[in-house]
Amino acid sequence: MTIDELDARLLELLARHPRITVLEASRRLGVARGTAQARLEKLMARGVIRGFGPDVDPAALGYPVTAFATLEIRQGQGEQVRRHLAGVPEVLELHTITGEGDMLCRLVARSNADLQRVIDRVVGFEGILRSATAIVMENPVPARIIPLVRAAARD
Amino acid sequence: MTIDELDARLLELLARHPRITVLEASRRLGVARGTAQARLEKLMARGVIRGFGPDVDPAALGYPVTAFATLEIRQGQGEQVRRHLAGVPEVLELHTITGEGDMLCRLVARSNADLQRVIDRVVGFEGILRSATAIVMENPVPARIIPLVRAAARD
DNA sequence: ATCAGCGCTGGACAACCTGCTCAGCCGAGA
DNA sequence: TCTCGGCTGAGCAGGTTGTCCAGCGCTGAT
């Protein structure tokens, strides 16, 4: 119910060469085309691969500033707050969390000044009691999955 | 130097239908194939689309627990800490931030118990002074980009 | 007003890939 | 020993890609 070495190598190939074809992948993996095709289908069927959505860079869209906001929510207002935040395009991700605060969201903005506008919009909702924002300066480790895939393949 | 309505619709199509072909996309967009092809190439050349990496679900890989850790770093140890964290496969993302703490990282683990092992490994490095972990319970807004694309297209 | 540049259209071509099917082979487990 | 599941190598029709080309309309510059 986990992945093997071949799956891992296939995922690596797909990650490294965006629009590689199944045929080309099978050649590089040294297996028959049918095998590569079957593996890929199974990975998708099992939900290991959710999709191949285009990886869009917000910075190239004019939103070079990223920030994380921790939100404290008024009791029982969770549902309304979620809907509110889902309606803000600059909210790229939202999690409910344990510990300090109740929610954590990833935001983007056109500039540091523009971030103020985004935050005002985010917290401008009665269900949100408090918020703390951390602006991202550098991104030493961009979103990655390959090292984990390799680790998962080793068992 | 930004994107127009057609670009936005193309991105939406690509996001919604993972492995759609350029030809099929051009049909749905109601434009000539060459146009869709040229737009796609430009979006990639401009860096708007970074790639089409497979979207791998850590949960399906056996890592259903996600957490965010805020780290406080000893002065001048930044570089070593980055290298240390880059070597931990369960660290999916790392940012340096302003405000409380110096770094924020996204972690995954096989279970809540396993999270302890991951955190021990993350924090078991002399350059890291303190850490605070928030476990993700729900993910009301999964990573998304389309609403932002739509907003960017409106100007 | 005229011209050049640019993007879009519609069409064409060879080369390639996909989805599907089939027979044969091999190792693991009952 | 038999069966099942996964892999191989091969083939075929149909769709897609990369790459041309000529033509057209709009926009900005001379």
Each residue of B98-122: pLDDT tens digit? 988 899 999 999 999 999 999 999 9
Residue B42: nearest nucleotide (C-alpha to C1'): C7
In this prediction, residue B19 has a pLDDT band, given cuts at 50, 70 and 90, of: confident
Short-list A56, A86, A118, A49, CA closest to B145? A56
Write down the pLDDT at residue B109.
98
Distance of C1' in C13 from CA in B102, Å: 59
Q: What is the mean pLDDT of chain B?
A: 96
Residue B1 pLDDT exceeds 80 = no
Residue range B2-29: average pLDDT?
A: 95
Residue A144 pLDDT exceeds 80 = yes
Residue A100 pLDDT exceeds 70 = yes
Per cent of chain B over pLDDT 90 is 94
Write down the pLDDT at residue A1.
66
In this prediction, residue A148 has a pLDDT band, given cuts at 50, 70 and 90, of: very high
Burial B110-122 (b: 16+ CB within 10 A, else e): beeebbeebbebb
Asked if the Cβ–Cβ distance from A89 to B53 is below 8 Å, we say no
Which of B2, B11, B49, B52 has the most A C-beta neighbours within 10 Å, making it the best mutation to test the interface with A? B52
A76 and B CB contact within 8 Å: no
B29 and A CB contact within 8 Å: no
Distance of C1' in C3 from CA in B100, Å: 62
From chain A residues 84-113, the ones with a CB under 8 A of any chain B CB are 85-86, 88-101, 104-105, 108
Residue range A80-89: average pLDDT?
A: 98
Each residue of A50-74: pLDDT tens digit? 999 999 999 999 999 999 999 999 9
Each residue of A105-135: pLDDT tens digit? 999 999 999 999 999 999 999 999 999 999 9
Q: Which amino acid does the sequence have at A26?
A: S
Q: What gap in Å lies between CA A92 and CA B149, rounded to an integer?
A: 11
Which of B138, B145, B149 has the most A C-beta neighbours within 10 Å, making it the best mutation to test the interface with A? B145
B84 touches strand C (CB under 7 A): no
Residue range A1-8: average pLDDT?
A: 91
Asked if the Cβ–Cβ distance from B14 to A53 is below 8 Å, we say yes
B62 touches strand C (CB under 7 A): no
